[in-house]
Each structure stands twice: as structure tokens, then as C-alpha cells.
A and B are shown apart, each in its own frame.
Chain A
Amino acid sequence: MVVGIKDALKLIGISIIACCAVFVCTLFLDYNIDIAAMKNEITTAGGITMYNAIVSTGKVVAAVSGGCLAITSVIMLLFYVKNYIDTHGRELGILKALGYSNFKIAKHFWVFGSSVFVGCALGYGLAFLYLPSFYELQNAEHLFPEIKVQFHLSVAFLLVGVPAISFAALAVIYACFRLKTPVLDLLKEKCAYKAAVSEKETKDMPFLKELTRSTVRSRKSFVFFIAFSAFCFSAMVQMSMSMTDLSSKEMAVMILTIGLILAFMTLFLSLSSVVKGNTKTIAMMRVFGYKHSDCSKAVLGGYRPFSYIGFAIGTIYQYALLKIMVTIVFADVGNVPEYSFDFTACAITLGLFIPTYEIAMYGYSRRIKKLPLKSVMLE
């Protein structure tokens, strides 16, 4: 077998993202379907405006969180497939040299889709357990008749079956595409040096600076993930602070939890991959006598600006999203508090973000310090 379940286990990040996405979408979709069934029983004017507001909120939340998380998982999946092919060039190259067709090798990559299935199924299951409390919460003011939790096969299929099948297919198709690389390039793991930077620009750049640059440039996906992690942290923490006023405490806690899980998981996954991808370089630098702090700075430091950019985008994003929700969705519902940019929340979030990020970086620089030189050399 080319790609085993063990390799798929490394895609736990995708599983967690899929789990979060499906969890949120299940809650709102199921609720919207169940509540639509009793639309006719809602008679009071207050009930009808509330109904409209809830249906649109449900749609917006499901679309925004589902959409965002789906895009993230697609990017993550593609990244994993590419990374797998880049780092297993020798094995795959030998298979190709022996005469296996691209498709014959690529079809094993369906295993990567299973991570999505696991995540989706878990998210769906958790959501189903949480649905009764969620229904009560949504109907706290008893504007609607009591709603029973029902199982909707269509929702289950849409949120578990469809993603699992399409992600498996995507993994295979993308692997097939990546495997078109000539056999010799695969064998030499040639993809690695493609990070070509224009010669003139870096002619007189010192080695350490150049290393920072080339580390960042050679794996652009990590730039995205690290920025995304800061984005999640910034957007979700700030949003959850504003949510307490705009919606319920439970919503705030839910958003905070999802945000933090996403943020930490992407950060840890990408930083471990960065360190892992650079072990040989770091070991060689240590052999030559570079200080461990220089190694960590060169390998990890390049990502810092991007994480702050991610933080800024997250701030803007959550502001725009809440503004849109408040002005459009709740337009005809009374007594929704005025929403304006919350500077205190932003300052607190930034105050939490900086130490968290730096501590994570410090943890990984400790890990770099502990890399055993000899095991790398023996490889």
C-alpha cells in the first residue's frame, strides 16, 4: 500500500476542522428545517420577525463558517498530498520507474479523504447530541411552539457523505496531477529546490537572512496556515466578546471554543511541520557551530510578520461580519444593540495573542535545541 492509515492519521487537523464545520452547520440546518415545518403555527407578529431573523442567521452562520472551514480543509488536504509526494519522492519514483501508472499510485490517496469522513461523522454526532439544548436555547423566549429534534437523512448525507466522497476524490485527482512529475525528478526529490529566488536580489544577503527567506518561500502553505491560525484567534475571540451582547452567552462560548481549537491546532501542526521539514538543515547548522537560538530564529522567525497580518485581517473580518449581520439580518428585529468596533475587545485579544504566540514559538525553539545530531546524520 502506498499511503497507509498511519499517514492519514497525520491529517487530524483536517478532521478537527471538518468536525467544527459540520457541528455548526448541523445545528443551524437541522434547526432551520425543523422550524420551517411549523412556520404555519407561528402567529404572533413578534414570532414571525424572530422566525425570519433566526432563519437568516442560520443561513449566514452555516454559509460563513461552513464555507470558510471547507476552503481551509481543501487547502490543507492539497497541502498534505503535495507534501506527501514531495517527501516520499523516492518510494513513489521507484513505483513509477517500475511501471505503475500515475492513477494506480494516486488511487491510494483516497485514504486521505477518510480523515474528512471521520471529522464530519464526529461533528455530526456531537451536534446531534447537543441539538436538544440548542433548540431550547434558540427558543428561550418561548415565541414558538416546542420543537422536537428530528433526524434528517438529507442533512446527514450532505454534511457527512458528500464531503467524504468529494475529499477522497479530490485527493486522488490532485495526487494524479502531482505525480505527473518526471520519474527522475521524483527520485531526486527535486521539488525541494524549486524555491528559486531571483539571484540578483539575494546576491549579498548573509546566510541566516537568506535561510529565513528561503524557509518561508519554499513552503508557502505554512505562511497561509500560520496567518490563518492568527486570523482564527483574532476573529473568533473578538467575535465571542461582542457576541455576549448581540446574542447569547452560549453562542459566545461556542465560537470561542471553535476559534481556539482551530487556532492552536493549525499553529501547532504547521510549526511542527516547519521544524520537521528543516531538521536536516538545523542539524547541519548545529554541526557547523551555529547557536541554537540562531537556528530557531532563522527557521521560525520568518513567519512572525504573517501571523500579525493574519491577526489584523481577522479583526477586520469579524467587524465586517458582525456589522453585516446586525444591519442586514436583524434589520427588522427590534432591540438589537447598536454594534460598533470594540476597541477594548481588540486590545484584550491582542494582549492575549502576543504572549500565546511567543510561548508557542519558544516551545518549538526548545524542540529545535533538543534535536539529536547523530540520528539525523545516520539517516
Chain B
Amino acid sequence: MISISDIEKSYGNAGNKNQVLKRISLQITDGDFVVILGASGSGKSTFLNVISGLERPDSGSVIYGTTDITKLSDGALTQFRKDNIGFIFQQYYLLPNMTVEKNVRMGADLAGNREYREMITAVGLEDKTGKYPGELSGGEQQRVSVARALAKKPKTLFLDEPTGALDEQTGRQVLDYICRLHKEYGFTIVMVTHNQNIAEMANTIIKMNSGKIAAVYTNEKQKTAYEIGW
């Protein structure tokens, strides 16, 4: 369970302050599939970064089980991310001078996971292990980053617009891999997206509007990546 309470975050200095998150509170149950929707600039990425421990809020708490990560030191926070969190970003951020295999090992070694090749197979890249990111298509690169994030066996996976740079077909494919792995391993998913349709795959849908949560819906019947519109 992730309990988020009264998160505030501003950028800029006193004279020119831009409050991006305005006292947000939220509960995320373990194993849930949460999608955060909202207009550009509404603070989705900032919210994701705060609850995943990449950024510190100005006030408020983010409690995983019994650990309040906003109270952790930098070192302890790094250790926390290592043990609990996986990330997938719109821009993939693969290491350019490492092969697919080594990129996945970057995640796997952290968890002492020696079966990382299974993860490469799970995203259908077993014949590309020796390739470099520059030699792959966008969709393939994003699948590498999915394998990299999941090879470290995270308890919670954070995704910021994972399909933002992909076309419909590749987007669906990547989402399908993520969904299937979610069913298999049961980690929690928190995904930020622009695309309303993708929300139909989720369990819980959160709408953000200028730094606040405008609405929370629960989805009774989750659709698959191939059933949603685009």
C-alpha cells in the first residue's frame, strides 16, 4: 500500500512561485494498475517523480507500507529505489554504448537476478541481445527498457508516457507486454499518459487538473491493449 498525503511542490522562488502540486492525497493498493490522466502541464510527471522518490516534495508524506520515503536520506532513498522501484520513460534512456543484454543486466544485477535472459525473451527480443540501442527501432528500444525495469523485480513500476514516442501498433505491443508481465508478477503499476483510451486498460483512473486530483474512477472491466481504441 502506498499512502500519499498532502503533497505540495512548487518551483521557482518566492516572487515568482509556480505551485505544481497542491496538497494531493491518494492511496494506491498493492498490485493495482493505476493510470494518471491530465492535460499537459497539469503536474503528472512531477507527481510521478515525487511518489517514486526521484524528487522530494516541499511538504507531505509518501508512505510505502511503513516507510515514509520523504524522510529518507539520499543514500537510503537510493537503496529504497534499488529494492522497490522500476522506471520506464518516454525517451527510453537506454545506455547507448551497451548491448541490449547489458542494458537489461543494468537492472538485473541490482536484484541479483541471474535469469534476466527470460525477461529479454518475455519482451520478444531474444534474437537482438547483441544489438546496440542505436540499431533498434523505437518500439524495440522501449521493450528493452521494459525488460530492464522488470529484470530488477520491482514491487512498483512507474511509467511516464511509455508509448508517447511510439505509433499505434508498436504502442499496443509494448502495452501488451507490460500487461502480461503485470498479470504474471503482480507488481503495482502507476502510469502517466495523455491517451484517454489507454486508461481503459487500468483498474484505477486518476484525473489530474492543474496540480490537483479532479476525479478517481474504478474500472470494472479492464480491456486488453488490443481492445482499446487509440
Binding site for B on A (CB under 8 A): 188-190, 192-196, 199, 202, 206-208, 210-211, 214, 218, 280-281, 284-292, 373-374, 377
Contacts and interface: CB of A to CB of B under 8 A. Distances in A.
A211 B98 CA distance: 8
B85 interface: yes
Nearest to B86: A288
B128 interface: no
B95 interface: yes
Given A207-B105, A374-B54, A288 B82 contact: yes
Given A206-B109, A289-B78, A374-B54, A218 B97 contact: yes
Contacts of A192: 96-97, 134
Given A284-B95, A291-B75, 20 more contacts: A190-B134, A193-B132, A193-B134, A193-B135, A196-B132, A206-B105, A210-B98, A214-B97, A280-B93, A286-B78, A288-B81, A288-B82, A288-B106, A288-B110, A289-B80, A289-B85, A289-B110, A291-B79, A373-B54, A374-B55
Interface in B89-136: 89, 93, 95-99, 102, 105-110, 130, 132-135
A286 B54 CA distance: 9
29 contacts: A188-B134, A189-B96, A190-B134, A193-B132, A193-B133, A194-B97, A199-B99, A207-B105, A207-B108, A208-B109, A211-B102, A218-B97, A280-B95, A286-B78, A287-B54, A287-B87, A288-B81, A288-B82, A288-B110, A289-B78, A289-B81, A289-B82, A289-B83, A290-B78, A291-B75, A292-B75, A373-B54, A374-B55, A377-B93
B152 interface: yes
B54 A288 contact: no
Contacts of B98: 210-211, 214
B209 interface: no
By size class, the interface of chain B is 20 to 34
Nearest to B78: A289
A88 to B, nearest CB: 15
Interface of B: 49, 54-55, 75, 78-83, 85, 87, 89, 93, 95-99, 102, 105-110, 130, 132-135, 152
Contacts of A286: 78
Contacts of B80: 289
A207 B106 contact: yes
Contacts of B134: 188-190, 192-193
A246 to B, nearest CB: 48
A192 B132 CA distance: 10
A289 B93 CA distance: 15
A67 B110 CA distance: 49
Contacts of B49: 374, 377
A38 B93 CA distance: 69
Shortest 6 CB-CB contacts between residues of A and residues of B: A289-B82, A193-B132, A289-B81, A207-B105, A192-B96, A207-B109
Most B CB contacts (10 A, CB to CB) among A194, A199, A284, A288 go to A288
Most chain A CB inside 10 Å of its own CB: which residue of B93, B107, B133: B93
B87 A210 contact: no
B87 A288 contact: yes
A188 B135 CA distance: 10
A210 B102 contact: yes
Contacts of A189: 96, 134
B78 A291 contact: yes
A106 B132 CA distance: 29
A76 B75 CA distance: 38
A199 B130 contact: yes
A289 B55 CA distance: 13
A285 B106 contact: yes
Contacts of B135: 193
Given A214-B98, A292-B78, A284 B109 contact: no
B25 to A, nearest CB: 23
A284 B87 CA distance: 10
Contacts of B81: 287-289
A81 B99 CA distance: 27
